[in-house]
Amino acid sequence: MVKEVAMSKKVEFFFDFGSPATYLAYTQLPKIAAARKAEIVWRPFLLGGVFKAINSASPVSIAPKGRWMFQDLGRWARRYGVPFEMNPGFPVNTLTLMRGAAGLQLKRPQDFPKYVAAMFDAMWVKPRNLNEPAEVGAVLKQAGFDAMEMLALTGEQEVKDRLKANTDEAVARGAFGAPTFFVGQEMFWGQDRLAFVDEALAA
């Protein structure tokens, strides 16, 4: 599903595997980009880092809003015709997972698409408790990755710095949640704003 090509129109996609709304956006954004002949610029960032920077928290921290959100996400999944199940370990600490995405994008971009697909699948399609290192290792092995190599990659300072830089940039540009999209200087938040992303790419 992840495809990076050289095109004049671009949409930046700031994503974190731990966000169910981001998963839904992930299932739809490539279709929009293809229709508009636009490039997706994949920007892994750390949602928890954004919350910390702006002194915010996940919507699920407000119980009534969290219950409503989970129901609404199911409605959107049915509308899109995509599988979706809440992860039993939610909320998941995605620091290592997102460092993996940043590291592969930086060092082994050819492996980035299958990693992204595997992590979204393990988080929201066939949910695994990715708070558990053993579960992460099993998912990596199933996707064809060496778990120890990936662990080493996520520990590299250059990789840590890349994820932090992406997160800091998102905050500096006004991001407060995930998914966040930028088309030029215009920012859009939430998978339910994809129609506006589409309009911006069509302009």
Quote the pLDDT of residue 7. 58
Backbone CA torsion sign across 15, 16, 20, 26: positive
Burial level of 74, CB count in 10 A (0-12/13-18/19+)? middle
Q: What is the pLDDT of residue 56?
A: 82
Q: Closest Cα partner for 47 from 12, 16, 20?
A: 16
With cut-offs at 50, 70 and 90, classify the pLDDT of residue 67: confident
The reported pLDDT for the residue numbered 62 is 75
Q: What is the mean pLDDT of residues 102-109?
A: 98
Q: Say if residue 108's pLDDT is above 50.
A: yes
- What average pLDDT does the structure give for the chain? 94
pLDDT over threshold 60, residue 3: no
